[in-house]
Amino acid sequence: MEKFIIDQEYLEEINKARRELRTLILKNKCAPLMLRLAWHEAGTYDPESKIKGGPNGSIRSEQVLKRQENMGLEQAVHFCEEVMAKLRKVSYADLYQLAGVVAVEVTGGPTIDFLPGRTDSDEPPQEGRLPNPNEKGVSHLRDIFITRMGLNDQDIVALFGGRIMGKSQRKNSDNEGQCTEDHLKFDNSYFVIKLKFHITLNRELLKKGAPSCRLPIDTALIEDRNFRKYVEQYAKDEDAFFKDYAVAHKKLSELGCNLKNPFMILKETPQKLKLIKPKLVIQIVIVSTVILGYLRKRKNNQLKK
């Protein structure tokens, strides 16, 4: 595994990568693709396996990209290579997860905390760890997201809301169709549609042009009582969805990573990256020393009087 030192230079490179990703995603209208790349990379995590997978950059290997579950992601990796060529030192693992964060933000979604420091690996994880889009049972989702990844029901439902920006791949599932009419906008419409058209395989609705999230795996969110309560909440309250999605996305993007930042967790708004600069810290220390020296000298003079 290749490791990078997370110093001021690395943080500045992350800032540059974010700007480059934003420009690239807006220009190519590829937010759904980049979000899918981040998800598929992180979703392979299995703490019980020798090769744990997760967000470690291994998805860039030809062996992994050729898997049926990753069809179409070659273009996402190519886009990331364009950005990587402009950087001096950023791991692929960080870049792929940052691409997912930026994809959500530029399409109107929530700002997601991003902590850098993922290491790259060339070891391909075992195939078949991602959710099967044609698997209907709720136990399938909980086995993957809760038992294996350590997430919870709320995280599962919130993450599914991100499917508004994706299209199911025809060769990956028996049903093809994007989940909402405007797949370049991140909002809570996935849940609104799920409640309105919850009979997801109803052909009459499809003939009438109803937008659909009709993969069997989606029906679990309606059929399970605990899942459904979050669907209903998010359909009514987009702010609640955004808040919970940001938390769930961050968890997913950090699976298996021991991320420690010597400065602070990066939290960027589209306008400014908030960093603690070493030069500023030094200046503060110098000023504080001067002030303390002055106060001591003044006190000594008063005692002499």
Catalytic residues: 40
CA nearest to 47, candidates 125, 153, 132: 125
CA nearest to 205, candidates 217, 193, 216: 193
Structure-token pair, residue 6 = 């997370």
- Evaluate whether 214 touches 175 at the Cβ level (below 8 Å): yes
How many angstroms separate the CA atoms of 230 and 305, rounded?
72
Identify the DSSP state of 118: P
- Measured CA to CA in angstroms, residue 180 lies from 37, 38, 115, 165, 171 at distances of 20, 20, 31, 8, 20
Residue type, 186: F
- Evaluate whether 214 touches 163 at the Cβ level (below 8 Å): no
- Measured CA to CA in angstroms, residue 298 lies from 32, 167, 286, 288, 292 at distances of 64, 72, 18, 15, 10
How many angstroms separate the CA atoms of 184 and 277, rounded?
36
For 120, the 3-state DSSP assignment is strand
Residue type, 85: A
268 forms beta bridges with 273
Question: Buried (b) or exposed (e) across 139-177, using 16+ Cβ within 10 A?
Answer: ebbbebbeebbebebbbbbbbbbbbbbbebbeebbebeb
Structure-token pair, residue 198 = 């919850």
Identify the DSSP state of 72: T
How many angstroms separate the CA atoms of 200 and 216, rounded?
8
